[in-house]
Amino acid sequence: MTIQWFPGHMAKARRQVTEKIKLVDIVFELVDARLPLSSRNPILDEIIGEKPRIIILNKSDLADPIETKKWVAYFNNQGIAAVPIIAQEGKGMKQLMEKAKEILKPKFDRRASKGIKPRAIRAMSIGIPNVGKSTLINRFIKKNVAITGNKPGVTKAQQWLKLGKELELLDTPGILWPKFEDPDVGKKLALTGAIKDTILQLDDIAMYGLEVMKTRNPKAIAKRYQLTEEELNLETPELLMLIGERKGFRDDYTRASELIIHDIRSGKMGKYTLDIAPVSLSEGQEN
């Protein structure tokens, strides 16, 4: 089944971002480190084109660190820089800026050789809902913020957030939403909270989460809900009902589902990555 859920302003948002991307030096593309592929909008490659970019794997504290390293290596092998961060805590922000400077050094060196006065890096942050775009912006602007406008080619609706002397971040109205044909992608996005819980049935999301955890981290789920090995091997619907009963939600599948989804999203059942990194190009050539 194809899940259609993006709003009618998709075409307008796409046009806006396509226009604004011409104003920046680099794109900060935010993804959820738990699903680095599923949380990427499939049309962004077309919009970004040859513009330099950094894929920012946010919420890396909730993801499997081994898988995160594999994803960073995978993107690097595709010729795309990738940096894991925890925007909520400000971790990885320094590395992000260093990588941006490294990528743009040839461009700024050419400008300097022509006698053009140095300026701050101009960046745009884009990403699907709930990957941390607002948190990233808030972390960047926590100090020394000035909003500048009326730049050439910039409409009044567009605002630049000047972050010290090093970075100007384009705050863009509108949100690009993903479209997916694979139901598993929808389940992954729903489980991590990237799309509204009303898109899919809560018990379907919870059971999907239980299946994932039973496969990826059975010890964590057994410990969290005090399950025996026999109970852990129950069919998923039965396991959902059992956990509900244990937590005092007998026959209330909605509350049981909400509990399980919350526990998974908040990392109470351990770190996990739903997207497994593909074999890199270099590894494929070696095999």
In a domain, 279, yes or no: no
Query: Residues 145-162: what's their mean pLDDT?
Result: 48
Residue 96, token pair as written in the block: 């992000």
d(CA 36, CA 71): 7
242-260 pLDDT tens trace: 999 998 887 888 999 999 9
Could you tell me if 166 and 38 lie in one domain? yes
Could you tell me if 97 and 147 lie in one domain? yes
154-160 long-range contacts, Cβ below 8 Å, gap at least 24? 154/23, 158/20, 160/122
**Residue 91 DSSP class:** B
Query: Residues 44-58: what's their mean pLDDT?
Result: 91
CB 84 within 8 A of CB 94: no
Residue 33's CB is within 10 A of a number of other CB atoms, namely: 30
Could you tell me if 21 and 144 lie in one domain? yes
d(CA 56, CA 266): 20
User: What was the pLDDT predicted at 162?
Assistant: 82
pLDDT at 168 over 80: yes
User: What was the pLDDT predicted at 196?
Assistant: 73
User: What was the pLDDT predicted at 157?
Assistant: 46
Query: Residues 40-47: what's their mean pLDDT?
Result: 82
Question: How many contiguous H segments (helices) and E segments (strands) does the chain have?
Answer: 12, 7
Query: Residues 187-212: what's their mean pLDDT?
Result: 87
What is the bridge-based pairing of β-strands 121-126 and 167-171?
parallel
Could you tell me if 86 and 155 lie in one domain? yes
Could you tell me if 58 and 138 lie in one domain? yes
Could you tell me if 16 and 67 lie in one domain? yes
In a domain, 152, yes or no: yes
User: What was the pLDDT predicted at 11?
Assistant: 67
d(CA 49, CA 238): 48
In a domain, 194, yes or no: no
Could you tell me if 147 and 75 lie in one domain? yes
In a domain, 273, yes or no: no
In a domain, 154, yes or no: yes
User: What was the pLDDT predicted at 9?
Assistant: 56
In a domain, 74, yes or no: yes
3-state secondary structure of 11: helix
Could you tell me if 115 and 207 lie in one domain? no
In a domain, 218, yes or no: yes
Q: pLDDT-derived band of residue 153, with 50, 70 and 90 as boundaries?
A: very low
The CATH number of residue 83's host domain is 3.40.50.300
Could you tell me if 43 and 154 lie in one domain? yes
What is the number of domains present in the chain?
Answer: 2
- Residue 208, domain extent: 201-265
Could you tell me if 63 and 164 lie in one domain? yes
In a domain, 190, yes or no: no
pLDDT at 150 over 80: no
Could you tell me if 130 and 25 lie in one domain? yes
User: What was the pLDDT predicted at 156?
Assistant: 39
Query: Residues 253-271: what's their mean pLDDT?
Result: 92
Could you tell me if 148 and 226 lie in one domain? no
